[in-house]
Chains A and B, each alone.
Chain A
Amino acid sequence: MGEMIKMVVVLTLLSVISGGGLKWYEEFTKPKIENEEMKLVKGPALLQIMAGAENNPVEQRFKVKVADTEQTIFVGKFDGKLNTIALETQVNGFADKVGLMVAINTDNNTLKGIGVTTSKETPGLGGNAKADPSFAAQFKDKSIDKEIKVTNDGGEINAISGATITSRAVCKGTMQAIEEYNEIKPQILEKIKSLDK
């Protein structure tokens, strides 16, 4: 009996100390990691889908509250107007979460483009969602009012061969981002208006 209690106590204590310590360390490194991500992962993807922007979308960003979390919105300027926003979302892929950057033209409700930011998908198969730009290019100029699906499911996106799960995940993630955008659209538009001045 005594040994039983000792086992429970030791394991619990170890877990608590380790969990608490890690939480503290995570808080400590969080701003630094966010900066690095912005610079090395989100930045390049963002600049790629917002190619030709007249401002720097990486710097022109703000946060909007969605339910309990905060979503970072990037704003791009095209033809002299701040008419494109991008937001990031995560979706379950084949191996792990796939990070997606989705840019939406707020004037005519079309996709400006999408880009994969983080992915651990199989190189050569699902990894091509990130490595091969021709897959992501299919999303460009698609209307956000229609559901985006792969051809297998009756949509218009040609799936990457050998990586149906990843392709579906990217479509799902895009829809997720669009949904989120529709939810917070009034706040975004208001914020952009104040930025425009």
Chain B
Amino acid sequence: MAKSLVAEFTKGLWKEIPPFRLVLGLCPTLGVTSSMKNGIGMGLATTFVLVCANILVSALRKVIPSKVRIACFIIIIATFVIIVELTMQAYAYTLYLDLGVFIPLIVVNCIVLGRAEAFASKNGLVRSAADGLGIGIGFTLSLASLGAIRELLGTGSLKGDVFGMLPYDISNIFGTSFEPFAFAVQAPGAFIALGLMLCVMNLIPSK
């Protein structure tokens, strides 16, 4: 039954990648992926919350009474979310303006609560950390790829940076005569891009 640490980590990257395989956490997936930069930022913020909340929930799993466990999980998760929010305001304010209300909404992100309830409250500290990190990175990759597709189709180029580091800039990948689908970066484009990604993921067997 017990899987290796590596398996706990890698399952989040492919077999149980949250938005595409589990179809969880769709609200931020649809909401913030208008560019790759926002997707990465949101993904990393969620990863931080996931890992920290998983570690703390796992460490406290024997102390927390089962009747009020959800309330306790929410307190733990909310604490880390506010830390992320304040940090982002202090060090990456423009990203904070772009992500806006989606950062506080990580509190009710079903991925985070789901991992706390389904995994961290039953498993040890190291395994919970590996699980959180795996799922978090999987989520980041999903948001980044979805964001990249939408940004490429919607503007014809990829531009941005990750928290002020690692700048990337690919312009006019389709040639200068390319007419961007402005539609792809708007809200309905999110549904269509996500639908296509789900379709592709379902074509590839999960094992």
**B90 contacts the other chain (Cβ, under 8 Å)?**
yes
B residues near A39, Cβ cutoff 8 Å: 93
Do A32 and B91 contact each other (CB < 8 Å), given the known contacts A10-B64, A22-B83?
Answer: yes
Count of B residues near A, CB < 8 Å?
Answer: 23
Contact pattern, B 23-47, Cβ under 8 Å of A = 1, otherwise 0: 0000000000000000000000000
Q: How many A-B residue pairs have CB under 8 A?
A: 52
Among A11-19, A45-53, A75-83, A84-92, the stretch in contact with B: A11-19
Q: Do residues A26 and B65 form an inter-chain contact, with CB atoms below 8 A?
A: no
- Measured between alpha carbons, how far is A33 from B90 in the docked complex, in Å? 5
Which one of A6, A14, A18, A29 lies within 8 Å of B89 (CB-CB)? A29
22 contacts across the A-B interface (CB closer than 8 A): A7-B67, A10-B64, A10-B65, A10-B68, A11-B68, A11-B72, A14-B76, A18-B78, A22-B79, A22-B83, A25-B82, A25-B83, A26-B86, A29-B89, A32-B90, A32-B91, A33-B86, A33-B93, A36-B93, A37-B93, A41-B97, A120-B100
Residues of A at the B interface (CB closer than 8 Å) are 3, 6-7, 10-11, 14-15, 18, 21-22, 25-26, 29, 32-33, 36-37, 39-41, 120
Residues of B within 8 A of A (CB): 63-65, 67-68, 71-72, 75-76, 78-79, 82-83, 86-87, 89-91, 93-94, 97, 100-101
